[in-house]
């Protein structure tokens, strides 16, 4: 079924969910500007122009965008990164 984008209460955040497990365990992972993660997918998402920060847990990644970025432009780029990793 691929990657599904879902709205969140925050208009600057979208939740991207997959049918597959992305992150093992019960810990969540957050990456803020200037940080790096042991998870390459999160680092690659942080490199996408307009992504402000990311949060991952089990089968989803929530992406927060910069205030001046539009989801119509950013969402396909986020999905491209996730598909590159097989999701």
pLDDT of residue 1: 63
- Structure pTM? 0.95
Strands of 29-31's sheet in order across: 4-7, 13-17, 60-65, 51-57, 29-31
pLDDT of residue 47: 97
pLDDT at 29: 97
pLDDT in the model for residue 85: 97
> What is the distance between the alpha carbons of residues 81 and 59, in angstroms, rounded to a whole number?
15
Place of tokens 């970025």: 69
Per residue in 33-77, pLDDT (tens digit) is 999 999 999 999 999 999 999 999 999 999 999 999 999 999 999
Q: Give the distance, in angstroms, between the CA of residue 70 and the centroid of all CA atoms in the same chain.
A: 15
Confidence at residue 79, expressed as pLDDT on a 0 to 100 scale: 97
Domain boundaries, the chain: 4-84
CATH superfamily of 4-84: Scaffold protein Nfu/NifU, N-terminal domain (3.30.1370.70)
């Amino acid at each position: 079924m691929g990657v599904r984008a879902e709205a969140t209460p925050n208009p600057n955040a979208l939740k991207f969910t997959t049918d597959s497990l992305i992150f093992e365990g019960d810990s969540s992972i957050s990456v803020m500007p200037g940080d790096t993660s042991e998870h390459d997918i999160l680092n690659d998402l942080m490199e996408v122009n307009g992504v402000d920060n990311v949060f991952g847990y089990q089968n989803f990644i929530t992406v927060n965008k910069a205030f001046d970025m539009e989801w119509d432009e950013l969402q396909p780029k986020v999905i491209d990164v996730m598909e590159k990793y097989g999701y």
